């Protein structure tokens, strides 16, 4: 028994301390990252690359017609910020934990000696990074393609481009938190997320001022408009005299970041209470 | 920092699934060495194990507080699971000392075995270089070094079980919890797996291994806990349990080309056979003296008076054991 005691004492001494802070978040972000199947990666790539492909076709066969900064604005506003970005973030956000429940790998993550809030933070940052690594280059390429026919034009709209990239990043952070929370809290999270994206982004976000504040996309587009003053990002008025749209850039920024913090805190709360008990005919997680 | 060997304690632990009581005020204390958790399917083994590793909370799942109170004799709450006095759930320090092999096939299908283990080592606080070295050691220990760079999606059931064991051992845990680990292993893999579990027990690791097959557990340990309908039915060594069984008649199937003749012979031995049944090409006997019965069959076979091709105990599976003990 003494020999046993010595063996276990040695083992305890050799064992590293539990990871904390950034190291823990990075470890969580990395875990399972290589598990995303090739077909799913290809699907996301195709979705994000579709407008780029469209613009290539316009460039080759359109002889420069339809290539202008206005086109870039239209594609970013109507296609990327309203549709593709939410879709990609639904995909990566709900999968951040959903895949663990479905694949039976949750015990490896939840059994790790890491605080649940750190696990949430790690998985959220991984999901957002996975989305942005596709979205930002696509928008950048689109910018180049739209302005390629016009000599020297690319340098004229760099401020607008920066604002668009910033808004997309902020939108990614916020939507990543929302969809990660839904993936944790709901069994049919993908369906609910689609409905939320459709209702809030497709409908409410397009209503005149007042209603739009309920849409994250509205805030993101509003931020671009506030920063650049480009009319293409001006919130719709439907001919109504509704006064100035909400707030300055700083308060939009605050709204988006507050949304991120709120949903991350909710996610950590849900994960801390999550029961992975199986039994009674189920083998997954139950709340 | 040094720590003594781990003592795991379940104190009146209950767990509900709606109106189904999966664990009913279970009291259990486990120390260094291997302990087998035996029970038929649905006994509550996996539920107990998930409570032990902190994936679920005692008492959760009940539809009302009345259910919880009734379960634990009116005491609020529904028990605790502690490791050396510390509550396990949501406790980073306790989780660092536990390794867990879950049941089921869950692995990251697109990841290689090596990548999986390196990632898992990072989750347990290893630096990248140390994690890679440790992953290599574990792959070697479970015999997966040749398949280290293959994706888990292409692994057989046995390879998956070994990879799961490797991840559980990565951080040299004080407590190792294995949920039905021998499922799907071929005889050679099974032998190696059992050897590793025994070695860990000898090293002073507190090992809890579940199974619904008695001989699997018997190969790993003498100490067993019998779980049935969410309650600890018996606790002790395999001989203790066998003593319990000896109070009941045992059934043995004897395969022979001449069942009637063999049956006639067996019935001539007073008190040996308590019941007999003829089957196609076999005799199923019920006896209070299984050892005496086996000797007799050996004698008959040796004397060439009867041909007995197989002797098969029909009571080795746990469902029969539990049927005896419960009835």
What is the per-residue pLDDT across B95-111, written as a single tens digit (0 to 9) for each?
A: 999 999 998 888 998 89
Query: DSSP of A194-213, one letter per residue?
Result: HHHIIIIIIIGGGSSTTTGG
Give me the sheet containing B175-179, strands edge to edge. B98-101, B175-179, B206-211, B33-38, B223-228, B231-237
Supply the pLDDT for residue A37: 59
Higher pLDDT pick, B8 / A244: B8
Question: In the predicted model, what is the mean pLDDT of residues A227-256?
Answer: 68
User: What percent of the residues of chain B are helix, what percent strand, and what percent coil, each to the nearest 5?
Assistant: 40, 30, 35
A30/B119 Cβ within 8 A: yes
pLDDT at B69 over 90: no
Is B27 in a helix, a strand, or coil? strand
CA nearest neighbour of B102 among B162, B56, B34, B46: B46
The two structure tokens encoding residue B88 = 């396990």
pLDDT of A9 > 60? The answer is: yes
Q: Give the closest residue to B47 by CA, choosing from A100, A282, A104.
A: A282
Interchain CB contact of B130 with A (< 8 Å): yes
- Note the ipTM here: 0.80
Q: What value, to the nearest 5°, has the Cα angle with vertex A105 and ends B161 and B6?
A: 70
* Eight-state DSSP code of residue A79: I
- The residue-averaged pLDDT of B108-131 equals 93
Percent of chain A with pLDDT over 90: 32
Mean pLDDT to the nearest integer, A144-156: 82
Q: Which two tokens stand for residue B43?
A: 């006994």
Find chain A residues with C-beta within 8 A of B227's C-beta. Answer: none
Q: How many CB atoms lie within 10 A of CB B87?
A: 14
The token pair at A22 is: 């950034």
Q: Are A26 and A20 in contact (CB under 8 A)?
A: no
- Looking at per-residue pLDDT, the higher value among A5 and A61 belongs to A61
Is B304's pLDDT higher than 90?
no
Residue B36 has pLDDT above 90, yes or no: yes
- Which among A28, A215, A9 has a CA at the least distance from the CA of A115? A28
d(CA B313, CA B250): 8
pLDDT at B117 over 50: yes
Classify strands B206-211 and B33-38 as parallel, antiparallel or unpaired: parallel
What pLDDT was estimated at residue A285?
47
Q: Are A219 and A235 in contact (CB under 8 A)?
A: no
Evaluate if pTM is beyond 0.90.
Answer: no
* Mean pLDDT within B238-265: 81
Phi, psi for A48 (deg, rounded to 5):
-70, -30
> Which residues 6+ apart lie within 8 Å of B271 measured at CB?
B288, B289
B34 confidence band (pLDDT: 50, 70, 90): very high
Q: 28-87 in B: which are within 8 Å (CB) of A?
A: 32, 44, 46-47, 50-51, 53-57, 60-61
Bigger pLDDT: A151 or B55? B55
Q: Does B235 touch chain A (CB under 8 A)?
A: no
Percent of the residues in chain A that have a pLDDT greater than 70, as a whole number: 82
Task: Identify the pLDDT of residue A123.
Answer: 94
C-beta atoms surrounding B86 within 10 Å: 11
Q: Looking at residues A123-128, what average pLDDT do you find?
A: 94
Using the beta-carbon criterion (under 8 Å), do A286 and B4 form an inter-chain contact?
A: no
């Amino acid at each position: 028994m003494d020999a046993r005691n010595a063996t276990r004492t040695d083992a305890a001494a050799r064992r590293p301390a539990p990871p904390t802070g950034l190291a823990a978040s990075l470890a969580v972000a990395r875990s399972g990252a290589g598990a995303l199947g090739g077909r799913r990666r290809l699907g996301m790539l195709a979705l994000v690359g579709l407008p780029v492909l469209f613009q290539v076709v316009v460039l080759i066969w359109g002889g420069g017609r339809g290539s202008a900064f206005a086109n870039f604005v239209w594609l970013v506003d109507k296609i990327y910020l309203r549709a593709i970005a939410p879709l990609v973030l639904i995909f990566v956000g709900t999968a951040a934990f959903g895949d663990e429940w479905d694949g039976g790998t949750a015990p490896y993550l939840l059994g790790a000696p890491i605080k649940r809030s750190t696990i949430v933070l790690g998985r959220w940052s991984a999901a957002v990074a996975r989305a942005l690594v596709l979205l930002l280059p696509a928008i950048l390429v689109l910018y180049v393609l739209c302005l390629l026919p016009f000599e020297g034009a690319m340098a004229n709209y760099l401020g607008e481009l920066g604002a668009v990239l910033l808004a997309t990043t902020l939108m990614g952070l916020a939507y990543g938190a929302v969809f990660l929370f839904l993936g944790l809290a709901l069994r049919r999270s993908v369906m609910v997320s689609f409905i939320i994206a459709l209702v809030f982004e497709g409908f409410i976000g397009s209503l005149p001022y007042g209603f739009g504040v309920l849409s994250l996309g509205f805030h993101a587009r509003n931020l671009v408009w506030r920063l650049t003053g480009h009319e293409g990002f001006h919130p719709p008025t439907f001919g109504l005299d509704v006064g100035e749209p909400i707030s300055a850039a700083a308060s939009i920024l605050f709204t988006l970041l507050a949304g991120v913090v709120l949903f991350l805190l909710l996610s950590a709360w849900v994960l801390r209470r999550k029961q992975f008990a199986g039994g009674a005919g189920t083998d997954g997680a139950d709340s | 920092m040094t720590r003594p060997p781990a003592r795991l304690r379940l104190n009146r632990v209950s767990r509900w699934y709606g109106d189904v009581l999966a664990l009913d005020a279970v009291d259990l204390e486990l120390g260094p060495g291997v302990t087998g958790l035996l029970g038929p399917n649905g006994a509550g083994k996996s539920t107990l194990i998930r409570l032990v590793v902190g994936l679920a909370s005692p008492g959760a799942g009940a539809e009302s507080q009345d259910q919880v109170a009734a379960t634990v004799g009116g005491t609020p709450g529904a028990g605790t699971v502690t490791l050396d006095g510390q509550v396990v759930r949501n406790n980073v320090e306790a989780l660092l000392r536990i390794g867990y092999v879950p049941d089921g096939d869950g692995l990251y299908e697109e990841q290689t075995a090596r990548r999986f283990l390196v990632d898992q080592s990072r989750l347990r606080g290893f630096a990248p270089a140390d994690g890679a070295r440790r992953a290599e050691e574990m792959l070697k220990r479970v015999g997966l070094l040749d398949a280290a760079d293959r994706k888990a999606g292409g692994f057989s059931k046995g390879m998956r079980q070994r990879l799961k064991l490797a991840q559980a051992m990565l951080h040299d845990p004080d407590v190792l919890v294995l949920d039905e680990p021998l499922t799907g292993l071929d005889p050679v893999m099974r032998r190696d797996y059992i050897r590793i579990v025994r070695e860990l027990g000898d090293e002073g690791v507190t090992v809890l291994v579940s199974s619904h097959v008695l001989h699997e557990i018997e190969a790993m340990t003498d100490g067993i806990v019998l779980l049935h309908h969410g309650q600890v039915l018996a606790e002790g060594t395999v001989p203790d349990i066998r003593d319990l069984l000896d109070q009941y008649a045992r059934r043995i199937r004897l395969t022979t080309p001449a069942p009637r003749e063999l049956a006639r012979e067996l019935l001539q031995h007073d008190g040996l056979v308590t019941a007999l049944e003829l089957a196609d090409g076999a005799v199923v006997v019920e006896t209070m003296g299984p050892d005496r019965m086996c000797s007799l069959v050996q004698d008959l076979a040796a004397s060439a008076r009867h041909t007995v091709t197989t002797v098969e105990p029909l009571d080795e599976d746990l469902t029969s054991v539990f049927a005896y003990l419960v009835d």
